[in-house]
């Protein structure tokens, strides 16, 4: 297997993981990381899908952080 094939396969795997993440994230996580999502349009949710697939690791980190803040709110919000 050539280096190019290995790199392209790794990218493909990353993007497949992104697609799976995006489905779950759109259903359960999106509204937790950004209050601007509340009351947003379907068009908005569709338009951000490619970005969610590519930047899923960043969004996952924000989602985990948001969940932690719900369980242990920061002092100024407690």
Partner 1 sequence: MGASYLAVGWNRQKKIYDWLIFGFCVLYLATFVVLTAIFNPDYTFETVLIRATSTLAVIILHVILSIGPLTRINKKFLPLLYNRRHLGVTMFCIILVHGSFSILQFHSLGNENPFVSLFTSNTHFGSLADFPFQALGFFALIIFFLMAITSHDFWLHNLSPKVWKTLHMFVYLAYFLVVMHVMLGVIQYETNPVFIIIMLTGSFTLITLHLIAGTREVKKDNVIYKLKQDGYVLVCDIKDIQEDRAKMFCVDAERIAVYKTGGKLFAVNNVCKHQNGPLGEGKVIDGCITCPWHGYQYLPQNGQSPPPFKEKVSTYDVKIEGTHVWLNPKAYAEGTERPGAVISVVNAE
Site membership for partner 1, residue 62 (CB under 8 A):
yes
Choosing from 19, 20, 23, 40, the residue that interacts with partner 1 (CB under 8 A) is: 40
Helix axis angle for 3-24 and 56-71, nearest 10°, is: 40
Residues in the chain: 78
Determine if 2 is a binding residue for partner 1 (CB under 8 A). Answer: yes
Q: How far is CA 76 from CA 15, 72, 73, in A?
A: 38, 11, 8
Q: Give me the residues that bind partner 1 (CB under 8 A), please.
A: 2, 4-5, 8, 33-41, 43-44, 46-48, 50-51, 54-55, 58-59, 62
């Amino acid at each position: 297997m050539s280096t190019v094939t290995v790199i392209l396969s790794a990218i493909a795997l990353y993007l497949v993981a992104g697609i799976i993440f995006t489905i779950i994230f759109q259903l359960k996580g999106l509204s937790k990381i950004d209050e601007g999502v509340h009351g947003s349009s379907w068009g908005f949710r569709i338009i951000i899908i490619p970005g969610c697939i590519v930047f899923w690791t960043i969004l996952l980190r924000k989602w985990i952080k948001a969940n932690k803040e719900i369980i242990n709110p920061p002092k100024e919000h407690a």
